[in-house]
Amino acid sequence: MFFRALIFFTAFLLACCSYAYAGEWPRFQADNRHTGASSVNFPSKDFQCIWKFRPAEHVFKYKRGSNVWSDSACIANVDGKDVVFIGLYNHNLYAVDAQDGRILWHFITGGRLDSSPCFTMVGGKPVVYIVSADRVLYALDARTGGKIFSYETLEWSYTVSEAVSTSPLVVSINGRAAVIFCIWNNDRAPMNNIQRGELFALDAATGEKIYSKVLSSVPLNSPAFSSIADKPVLFISSTDGRVFGVDARDGSILWEKVLCAQIHSSVSVNIQKDKIQVFVGTGFGNLYALDGHTGNILWAKKFGHAIYSTIAIAGIEGKVFIYFGSQDRNIYCLEAETGKEVWRFKTRDYVTSSCVIAKALNSTVIFAHSLDNNLYCLDALTGSRVWSRDTGKLIWGYYRGHSVNWSSPAVCAVSGRPLLVFPSYDGSVYAFGSSGKSK
Amino acid sequence: MNLENLSWKIIERPLLPIEGSSVDAFPFLALAALLFLSGCALKNKKLGLRAISQSISFIFFIFAVHRCFGAIRGWIYGIQEIAGNDIGVFYNLLVFVPLVSFSVIFGRVFCGWVCPLGALQELAFRMPVLKKLQVNLSLRAQRLKFIVLAFLFIFTVFLLFKLRPKTFFFVENIAAFWGLCLMLLTLIVAWKPHLDSRLKKIRSLSLILWIGLIIMDVYVTDPWCVLYGNVVDYSSIISLLAVLVSAIFISMPWCRYMCPVGSFLGKMAGVMRLEIRQKIDLSPEKISQLCPVEALGKSSIDRSSCLYCARCIQAKVSEIEES
Ligand code: SF4
Ligand code: SF4
């Protein structure tokens, strides 16, 4: 009886922690499973720029290892006001009014911000979490930007390098809200050399460490979360080509699968009845669907070039489809069950960021950005172009290929009005809305 | 079947994973073994084994494993990662270390006995249907050759234009530019064959530019990326086409004029312990008949160009010697 009550209570807390009202986009790729799907419905397919936020005039030099110029935005309702949180290469986390793009506050960290922030309510307080390349996780009051706590994952020394961070998520562990994130720390000291891709679980309210677990000696990607037979499980891919299923309660490894090449794509999870599919793309261009219970390969498919985007998942007309971009310049849609290709859309450059899913005029659409500078809106069932917009050129003259995951769009509803937010590498954050008059 | 779905690799997952990762030690061991056996065969004048070594290497690196062969990019990235990412260091130095160490012991056996791109160029030049387009032609045929090449060059430029990415035109097209340069050089040599030896000097410039771009953090690709990596990289595809087309007209053009790896190994000629020495004086006609890169001279070999293919040893023109 007690056991059942505990399960019920844990499930309830999990639901609360993942709670976001339909219009929010509280973390990387919308939710803990990284589906990238939102139920927001744009009133027309005619999108216009509503506001543009240009945070910094000063352009920092391109630095190798930098994941993005800006990370993907997270959007949440804070005390009745819709706020866009966005971390930048210039070390700042910005809170911007989703109505008009006005800056509300900013918080400066000690390093660049490559991974998305995460918003949640903890003890009735709106909190935003961000992991910085200065090796620290910050928990900030989402209303003011005031620091609630910070947690340093590795002490500073003269020989430490910039950390590689991932987007945090908040889950319930044994009845306790915990903020989960991965970070890669490196100390180049010859005598005390550290190369650690580590998973951390901290108390979401106090920052007290619950556990940490070293999974790899290389950087890890953002963790995804789902419950399997009442067991809370984290799914984490590692850049050395491995995927882990990890018990979220204590960090123990449930399964581990080595794939064909390096992985820069974060894992996403599809749940259908008792079946759990874990999707991940590799640098060799293979897309894998793994069994969430065992890590066994359900199906694998080869594409023309590296798949670095996180796979978006949507159920349409009773079928589940997956969406992703590849460095072979295509955006793909496959059937989740079998991997059968439904359509592909050719762009004119690499597609490395992730697709997001929403609705426009009641039909499902996807938004995706290509390095041909265009933000595309495609029909989710046919792949036909609905809309596209040039979002500007890269502020740097070049970048090192195969090391960059550019930012992805995010979708929300501001006072009931749908909004598409895209931090472009031209130095601006764009917000698009649709006019209500269909074309 | 779409180009993007073409998959020709037999082994996709690591056979000998390093620290349980996707980084595979097997290609490293296979390369080291092939270089060692080829070196021993060359040293012991078992020259018939060359074709076997080339075939094994061709099948293994093109059809069996997917392993990046960017040796120059590899050592620069590998050095940058020391004390930061041990797996990355291993991955990046996987090709470079055996290549350099075995070259010191046995000379450029990689080029003559192992390199699949070298073998592919040899094959392209030997295709019987195309023989007519090659050497020793009358002036009219010589002109025809130039016109055909010029047409193919224009076609490749058009292809580059059609397949160009919308942004980062230069950065994402390094391999294609190298390929076009090669076609241009082939055109010049088709017109004025006597310029060949002077144009070979461009190889050093190619290496310097290549290293410079990598240090500047530009991710350079090569003609072989498409073959070894099984990827649809348009720049690499154009570059490979350029190499193969040029190789129909001139023997081993990429090795002669552009290859950064070959140029790097050529610079190591002074420290190679196994040396090929020319014993007999040769006429220019004999040289072009015998040596695929015309490294043989009137009386001595241009060591920075010699690929260690051992054809001159077989023809009893040269001898293998240990220094
Ligand atoms: S010169 Fe370059 S392409 Fe030619 S055989 Fe040597 S490594 Fe291969
Ligand atoms: S001199 Fe020419 S024929 Fe002789 S080994 Fe070198 S490349 Fe081959």
Expressed in angstroms and rounded, the spacing between residue B116 Cα and the centre of ligand 1 is 8
Whether the pLDDT of residue A60 is over 80: the answer is: no
Residue B311 CA: nearest ligand 2 atom is: 3
Note the pLDDT of residue A121: 94
Note the pLDDT of residue A438: 36
Note the pLDDT of residue B167: 82
Give the lowest-confidence range in A87-91, B37-41, B205-209, B283-287.
B283-287
Phi and psi dihedrals of A58, rounded to 5? Answer: -75, 130
Compute the residue count for chain A: 439
- Considering only the beta carbons, identify the residue of A302, A344, A398 that sits closest to B171: A398
Chain B within 8 Å of A195 (Cβ-Cβ)? yes
Helix B96-106 / helix B71-80 crossing angle, nearest 10 deg = 120
Verify whether the Cβ–Cβ distance B22 to A240 is below 8 Å: yes
If pLDDT is split at 50, 70 and 90, which confidence band does A326 have? very high
The arrangement of strands across the sheet holding A319-325 comes to: A312-316, A319-325, A330-335, A341-346
Secondary structure element (H or E) that encloses residue A8, with its range? helix A2-17
Residues sharing a CB contact under 8 Å with residue B59, sequence separation 6 or more, in sequence order = none
Once rounded to an integer, what is the mean pLDDT over residues B199-220?
93
- What is the sign, positive or negative, of the torsion defined by CA atoms of B241, B243, B249, B251? negative
Once rounded to an integer, what is the mean pLDDT over residues B151-163?
94
pTM: predicted TM-score of the whole model, two decimal places: 0.92
Cβ atoms of A313 and A301 closer than 8 Å: no
Mutation target among A186, A194, A239, A240 for the B interface, most CBs of B within 10 A: A240
* Ligand 1 neighbours (beta carbon < 6 A): B 111, 115, 117-118, 254-255, 259, 261-262, 307
Once rounded to an integer, what is the mean pLDDT over residues B113-123?
96
Note the pLDDT of residue B171: 82
If pLDDT is split at 50, 70 and 90, which confidence band does A401 have? confident
Whether the pLDDT of residue A14 is over 50: the answer is: no
Chain A, nearest residue to B216 by Cα: A400
Residue B308 CA: nearest ligand 2 atom is: 5
Expressed in angstroms and rounded, the spacing between residue B18 Cα and the centre of ligand 2 is 38
Whole-number percent of chain A with pLDDT over 90:
79
Task: For the beta carbon of residue B18, count every other beta carbon within 10 angstroms.
Answer: 17
As a whole number, the mean pLDDT across chain A is: 90
Burial (0-12, 13-18, 19+ Cβ within 10 Å), A19: exposed
Ligand nearest to the CA of B287: 2
Once rounded to an integer, what is the mean pLDDT over residues A356-385?
96
Q: What is the pLDDT of residues B228-242, one digit of tens each?
A: 999 999 999 999 999
Ligand nearest to the CA of B312: 2
Nearest to A409 by CA among A54, A72, A167, A44: A72
* Chain A closest-CA separation from residue B43 CA (Å): 37
Interface contacts A/B by beta carbons within 8 Å: 129
Whether the pLDDT of residue A373 is over 50: the answer is: yes
Residue B224 CA: nearest ligand 1 atom is: 3
Once rounded to an integer, what is the mean pLDDT over residues A264-287?
94
* Chain B closest-CA separation from residue A192 CA (Å): 10
Verify whether the Cβ–Cβ distance A262 to B22 is below 8 Å: yes
Once rounded to an integer, what is the mean pLDDT over residues A335-346?
97
* Chain A closest-CA separation from residue B7 CA (Å): 7
Once rounded to an integer, what is the mean pLDDT over residues A207-212?
97
Once rounded to an integer, what is the mean pLDDT over residues B91-98?
92
Q: How far apart are CA B104 and CA B110, in angstroms?
A: 11
Q: What is the 3-state secondary structure (H, E, C) of chain B?
A: CCHHHCCCCCCCCCCCEHHHCCCECHHHHHHHHHHHHHHHHHHCCCCCHHHHHHHHHHHHHHHHCCCCCCHHHHHHHHHHCCCCCHHHHHHHHCCHHHHHHHHHHHCCHHHHHHCHHHHHHHHHHHCHHHHHHCCCCCHHHHHHHHHHHHHHHHHHHHHHHHHCCCCCCCHHHHHHHHHHHHHHHHHHHHHCHHHHHHHCCHHHHHHHHHHHHHHCCCCCCCCCHHHHHCCCCHHHHHHHHHHHHHHHHCCCHHHHHHCHHHHHHHHCHHHCCEEEEECCCCCHHHHHHHCCCCCCCCCCCCCCCCCCCCHHHHCCCEEEEEC
Give the lowest-confidence range in A42-46, A203-207, A380-384.
A42-46
Mutation target among A186, A195, A243 for the B interface, most CBs of B within 10 A: A195
Whether the pLDDT of residue A20 is over 80: the answer is: no
If pLDDT is split at 50, 70 and 90, which confidence band does A258 have? very high
Expressed in angstroms and rounded, the spacing between residue B252 Cα and the centre of ligand 1 is 9
If pLDDT is split at 50, 70 and 90, which confidence band does B68 have? confident
Cβ atoms of A46 and A437 closer than 8 Å: yes
Note the pLDDT of residue A437: 43
Whether the pLDDT of residue A9 is over 60: the answer is: no
Once rounded to an integer, what is the mean pLDDT over residues A237-258?
97
Chain A within 8 Å of B231 (Cβ-Cβ)? yes
Note the pLDDT of residue B282: 85
Note the pLDDT of residue B285: 81
Note the pLDDT of residue A13: 43
Note the pLDDT of residue A19: 42
Cβ atoms of B203 and B265 closer than 8 Å: no
Rg (CA), chain B: 20
Asked if this assembly's ipTM is beyond 0.85, the reply is yes
Note the pLDDT of residue A365: 97
Whether the pLDDT of residue B17 is over 90: the answer is: yes
Note the pLDDT of residue A246: 98
Identify all chain B residues contacting A191, using CB atoms and an 8 Å cutoff.
none
Whole-number percent of chain A with pLDDT over 70:
91
Phi and psi dihedrals of B61, rounded to 5? Answer: -80, -25
Give the lowest-confidence range in A265-274, A329-338, B45-54.
A265-274
Note the pLDDT of residue B134: 56
- Considering only the beta carbons, identify the residue of A242, A263, A372 that sits closest to B166: A372
Once rounded to an integer, what is the mean pLDDT over residues A21-31?
84
Verify whether the Cβ–Cβ distance A261 to B66 is below 8 Å: yes
Whole-number percent of chain B with pLDDT over 90:
72
Identify all chain A residues contacting B4, using CB atoms and an 8 Å cutoff.
303-305, 326, 328, 330, 344
Verify whether the Cβ–Cβ distance A285 to B230 is below 8 Å: yes
Give the lowest-confidence range in A88-92, A137-141, A317-321.
A88-92
